Amino acid sequence: MYQFHYQQGAAGKLDAFPHILEIYAKKNTAIQLQSFPQQVAKGLCIYFIQEGKFEWWVNGVHYFLFPGDTVLVLPGETIGNEKGLLELGSIYCLELNIKPLKQGELVPGVWSGLGQAECAAIGKLLHLKSTSVLSRMSDAGRILTSLFYEIHHLELAYVTRVNQLIDELIIAITRQLTRQCLPARDFSSIFMKLEDALRKDLSHQWTVEEMAAIAGMGTTLFTEKVKGFTGFTPINYLINIRISEATRLLKRRDISITDIALDTGFYSSQHFSTTFKKLTGYTPGEFRKNNTYTE
Amino acid sequence: MKCIITIELGTNAVRIFAFDLNGSVIGSMKGFYPTFYSQTDYSEQDPEQIFITMLYVLKNLLNEVIHARKYTVASICFSSSMHSLLVVDKNGVPLGNALTWADNRAKKEAREINASPLADTLYASTGTPLHPMSPLLKIAWLRHNEPDKFQRAGKFLSVKSYVIYQLTGAYLIDYSLACATGMMDIRTADWAEEALQYAGISRDQLPQLVSVFAGAGNLKKAYQNSLGITDDTRILVGSSDGCMATLGAGIWNSDKATITIEDSSAVRIAGNHILQDEKKRVFNYLLTDNCFISGGPSNSGSGIFEWFVKQFGDSTGAYDMETCLTTLLEEATKVPPGSEGLLFLPYLLGERAPIWNPDARGCFFGINIQHEKQHFIRATIEGILYEIYSIGRLLMEHRDIKGLSVNGSFATIPFCSQMIADMYNVPVYVTKHNNSVSVGAFLLAATEMGIYRTLDEAAAQVEIDKTYWPQELHHQTYMKYYDIFERLSYKLSDEFARIAELQAHRTQ
């Protein structure tokens, strides 16, 4: 392993990649004070453990890391060692300038070859991550090694190749993140995890691709599984939860119908009203008049 | 042409069937709703989601099947799982989620009341065991732990009562479901004063008691317009899923019992008098005049075997629980009955009948060096079925059982049906239509319409698809091991309490 450290603005090698804030390969042979204090990540950071055993805290959660482990830190999250020390060993790090959108989703920039829907799905999954550590992810090490090679050697078409490798890394991490959090074979547990994600963010315009990604499946298999398990297509199940939640909110006086519509993921109060009436026969206003919560 | 629609509000899903008047299925659809487990012993469901899911599925079935094929809906008959509790305010608006039968938060109340003289009085009048599942104890828990909510309570409902109220505006509960609340006097078919006093509520806070044949009034106009149904359609209050499953299995005033095994299980018999069990282990639900469903429920069922499959099944390959389950079942057949001395107590979720011990825990017993994986698979299935058999033994203290009708996904796996026949040493029947709850609801509605004169006549229409005959040698083997199984279930009572206590405080 050769060592290097490029930072945006300080190394010409990153001029063609404004989205890379920092990239390094480091072999730590001596423990120094304040070598790895807890710090707030500016962008999306990906660490890969090459050698050694590390004890890090990511956003307050304690992890022991071993070779092959990949650490994912979102912008604004904290990372570091509680005592401020970087243990002996080798690590790779890539920090990307990807800022969270209003809803907390992370969407790669124009440099990425990922489609808009794919970006949205990946961004949503990263935002919903339930762990920061992906165990034994040798793929990340392989991709990062290729990435370093490309940036270091600047061979023909290196710009395209570097951006492709970053996309590949993000895809691999997102897929692994989904699979790792899912109990194999147990679709009811997988479905409850999805249900939880949908309910937590009902105003988000969920796509089937995003929902399938949370379940760690392709859209065809996912749709088939959801239909068998719930009796609904994924989108119909989502509408069902939206109307249920709206029904509950309509019984309270302190929230307007427009707010209910938007909070539960309808495009507008008109869209909400049409969908609600189609199912129940009542407009939201009529329903509210007949069903009021007592204080 | 006329049709009958049955709506089953089950533990995890609503299942809606449409039958023609001959009992043939015209169409069916289901819709899932989740259960939330926010804390140990808590099990809740969102009443709005249940209602909306029911509405959604009903509307789709009507639009896609019933109206499309020019059927008119003569009757809609409800059934639901038992022991749910939903508190609503004086305007009928839910004050939080519904608690399901599996909600065990009222453990302390159950322990206390079972140790008091009131237990005998309540069991004598209500005919149902005093357990945390019972809405009576859930209300007592609420009074002790959430006094504000208790004060604001307008009504204490079941999920089925809530759904019917939403549709028609009437607060109703049928006798059989009311028995399952632990608050109805089974002898007078009225709310039991001593139960109400214990719960601290008045009778006007409960829905009106009605017969299973009672009409629930007309659908509100908005729902009529939305669903395309008129005042001509009769909305029947119906019964509980357990009673419907018994009726739908064709077991009626006979010397047969029915076994239902899904996630949880039950063994039930129908008769013209209640079973007053000295140890208060048997439930009794009044269905119609002088017709009672008696039996015992178990927390053990396919859910326990699925747990085993998840932990010890082959975890490579695609997500497919069913394939994995089938593979394990095949493995189990390689081991002789009795699993060569390996026993499994299936109390992973505590247990109701016959031991009624929420602290009971699972256990493999008798492991020796020769036991292999397939022994554990078979022992797990045998353990679940020994437990079901123990409920049958309890019922046999009161009545003869000369045959069994089995239903539910787990019971009708041929390997399991045969095992049940061998354990009980009586023939086991599987009916043609496996969804006995819906068939029961159809038979109830058809009887109400006059198609059948009585429920006996209706139940006689249920056709048998397959019979499993007992094998005497297997029975003898099972009985040797069952004896140890039964002794262990009671002997380990102190250890269950201690381990449950440690598990409850494992984070401290």
Q: How far is CA A167 from the centre of its chain?
A: 14
Whether B135 maps to a domain, the answer reads yes
Q: Would you state the structure tokens that stand for residue B242, as one six-digit string? A: 């357990």
B320-339 tens-digit pLDDT: 667 777 888 888 999 999 99
Give the contacts of B10 (CB within 8 A, at least 6 positions apart): B80, B81, B241, B437
**Chain B contact for A225, CB < 8 A?**
yes
Mean pLDDT of chain B: 93
B209 and B266 co-located in one domain = no
Name residue A280's beta-bridge partners. Answer: none
Q: What is the mean pLDDT of residues A164-189?
A: 83
Statement: residue B252 has pLDDT above 80: no
Q: How many CB atoms lie within 10 A of CB B318?
A: 10
- Judging by beta carbons within 10 Å of its beta carbon (0-12, 13-18, 19+), is residue B506 exposed, middle or buried? exposed
pLDDT at A152: 87
Statement: residue B496 has pLDDT above 90: yes
> How far apart, in whole angstroms, are the C-alpha atoms of residue B265 and residue A283?
42
When divided into structural domains, chain B yields a total of: 2
Q: How far is CA A155 from the centre of its chain?
A: 32
> How far apart, in whole angstroms, are the C-alpha atoms of residue B247 and residue B252?
6
> How far apart, in whole angstroms, are the C-alpha atoms of residue A158 and residue A16?
10
Reported ipTM: the value is: 0.85
Instruction: Report chain A residues whose CB lies below 8 A from the CB of B48.
Output: 244-245, 247-248
> How far apart, in whole angstroms, are the C-alpha atoms of residue A236 and residue B58?
14
B261 and B238 co-located in one domain = no
B319 and B451 co-located in one domain = yes
Yes or no: say if B280 and B129 are a contact pair by the CB < 8 Å rule: yes
Residue bearing the bigger pLDDT, A187 or B248: B248
> How far apart, in whole angstroms, are the C-alpha atoms of residue B46 and residue B103?
14
Query: Helices then strands (H, E): number in chain B?
Result: 18, 22
Q: Cβ–Cβ of A248/B46 closer than 8 Å?
A: yes
B195 and B272 co-located in one domain = no
**Chain A contact for B64, CB < 8 A?**
no
Instruction: Report chain A residues whose CB lies below 8 A from the CB of B319.
Output: 184-187, 190, 217, 225
Q: How many CB atoms lie within 10 A of CB B490?
A: 10
Which residue does chain B place closest to A222, by CA atoms? B319
Q: How many CA atoms lie within 13 A of B379 on its CB side?
A: 21
B264-299 tens-digit pLDDT: 899 999 998 899 898 899 999 999 888 899 999 999
**Three-state SS sequence of B316-350:** CCCCCHHHHHHHHHHHHCCCCCCHHHCEEECCECE
Q: Cβ–Cβ of A292/B225 closer than 8 Å?
A: no
Q: Cβ–Cβ of A281/B31 closer than 8 Å?
A: no
CATH code, A187-291: 1.10.10.60
A231 — alpha (psi -120 to 50), left (phi > 0) or beta?
left
B227 and B303 co-located in one domain = no
**Chain B contact for A236, CB < 8 A?**
yes
B23 and B109 co-located in one domain = yes
Rounded-to-5 percentages of helix, strand, coil across chain B: 40, 25, 35
B313 and B438 co-located in one domain = yes
Statement: residue A265 has pLDDT above 90: yes
Q: Cβ–Cβ of A240/B30 closer than 8 Å?
A: no
- The pLDDT confidence band at residue B74, using thresholds 50, 70 and 90, is very high
Strands B2-9, B13-20: pairing kind: antiparallel
B260 and B173 co-located in one domain = no
- Facing residue for A231 by CB, picked from B29, B94, B223: B29
Domains in chain A: boundaries: 4-181, 187-291
> How far apart, in whole angstroms, are the C-alpha atoms of residue B54 and residue B7?
8
- Facing residue for B49 by CB, picked from A187, A244, A291: A244
Residues spanned by the domain of B68: 2-243
Whether B285 maps to a domain, the answer reads no
Q: How far is CA A218 from the centre of its chain?
A: 17
> How far apart, in whole angstroms, are the C-alpha atoms of residue B383 and residue B360?
14
- The pLDDT confidence band at residue B508, using thresholds 50, 70 and 90, is very low
- Which CATH number do you get for residue B215? 3.30.420.40
B309 and B234 co-located in one domain = no
A189-236 tens-digit pLDDT: 889 989 999 999 999 989 998 899 888 888 998 999 999 999 999 999
Instruction: Report chain B residues whose CB lies below 8 A from the CB of A244.
Output: 46, 48-49, 51-53
Which residue has tokens 């009778």? Answer: B203
Q: How many CB atoms lie within 10 A of CB A76?
A: 13
Same topology for domains A4-181 and A187-291, yes or no? no
B87 and B233 co-located in one domain = yes
pLDDT at B506: 60
Q: Looking at A124-133, B93-102, B124-133, B484-493, which range is the least confident one?
A: A124-133
Q: Cβ–Cβ of A231/B13 closer than 8 Å?
A: yes
Which residue does chain B place closest to A286, by CA atoms? B222
Statement: residue B319 has pLDDT above 60: no
Looking at residue B205, what DSSP letter applies?
Answer: G
Statement: residue B127 has pLDDT above 60: yes
pLDDT at B325: 77
> How far apart, in whole angstroms, are the C-alpha atoms of residue B102 and residue B464?
32
A115-147 tens-digit pLDDT: 877 888 888 888 888 889 998 888 999 999 999
Domain boundary among B217, B243, B269: B243
Q: Which fold has domain A4-181?
A: Jelly Rolls (2.60.120)
**Chain B contact for A237, CB < 8 A?**
yes
> How far apart, in whole angstroms, are the C-alpha atoms of residue A209 and residue A207?
5
Strands B265-271, B283-288: pairing kind: unpaired
B297-313 tens-digit pLDDT: 999 998 899 888 878 87
pLDDT at B340: 97
Q: Cβ–Cβ of A293/B93 closer than 8 Å?
A: yes
> How far apart, in whole angstroms, are the C-alpha atoms of residue B407 and residue B257?
11
pLDDT at A190: 86
B357-369 tens-digit pLDDT: 888 999 999 999 9
B366 and B463 co-located in one domain = yes
Residue B278 has phi, psi (to 5 degrees) of: -55, -40
Q: What is the mean pLDDT of residues B469-491?
A: 97
Statement: residue A68 has pLDDT above 60: yes
B398 and B494 co-located in one domain = yes
